[in-house]
Chain A
Amino acid sequence: MSARYKAPTPGVIEQTGILQNVEIPEVHLSETGSAEVLLANYPWVVVLTQECDLQLDRFARLGLPQVDGKPPVAKDKKLRGILLCPAFLEENVLLGTYVEGGSKADNTTRKMMLSNRHERFHLLPAEVPTMQSPLVLDFKLITSAHPEFLLSLVRDHPEKVVAVICPPFRDRLMQRFLNYFGRIAEPGEG
């Protein structure tokens, strides 16, 4: 493993864990009165939920204390959803083919994206053997999955968890995401 990425802990959901080829169910209520389940398959997703919340959720679900000898973690620490950000091959994002209706990045946009100065995107450089190709996160496309769904996924398919981003790269990603998510939009701005 490299300095930027580390091996995942088996069977555990970790902050900035990178999962590949994940199908996330989204349930909508259709006009015909049936539940419409949209199964969206993402090539990669990165876990954005805070590590402390994930840990407490894990202990609360198992009914275990965080520290030996202490009471079990209260059930109110269980999460309702885990925040995920889809990631795509760098080339596909630059070409705009990664998403429906996307457009090719011009030279200025490309330079901003590749130097992590474009607020909507975050580049994860390739580092063989962990990351074969550079990936780009699109903060606008964040989604979520139920903790139990994601937990069973990482337990049943540990090969889907590619790596976990290490500090300070993890902190930089979170800082950039929060900067994008918490931006104050003025009228007329995207």
Chain B
Amino acid sequence: MAASLAKVYCILLVQSLPEPVVSAMLPQLQEVAEHELRMWHVGQRIEGPDIVERRVFLPIRK
């Protein structure tokens, strides 16, 4: 639902721009869109920090 709505907004935005502007911006828009999509996919499977810590306590002889 959100994806189709975003698509409609994108189409409306692109249609509102003059053609030379659209052709000049398309490569950059594509790069941004690909990056955001990749980040979204990665975000789905990432839960927390990559450094995993565990603690052990040892008595000290005095």
Contact = CB atoms under 8 A, between A and B. Distances in A.
A91 B54 contact: no
Contacts of B57: 30, 32, 34-37
B49 A110 contact: no
Provide the main secondary structure of the chain B interface. Answer: mixed
B51 A95 contact: no
Contact of B50 (A29, A34, A89): A89
A99 B59 contact: no
B39 interface: yes
Nearest to B52: A41
Interface in B24-62: 32, 35, 38-39, 42-43, 46-60
B42 A35 contact: no
B50 A99 contact: yes
B11 to A, nearest CB: 23
A86 interface: yes
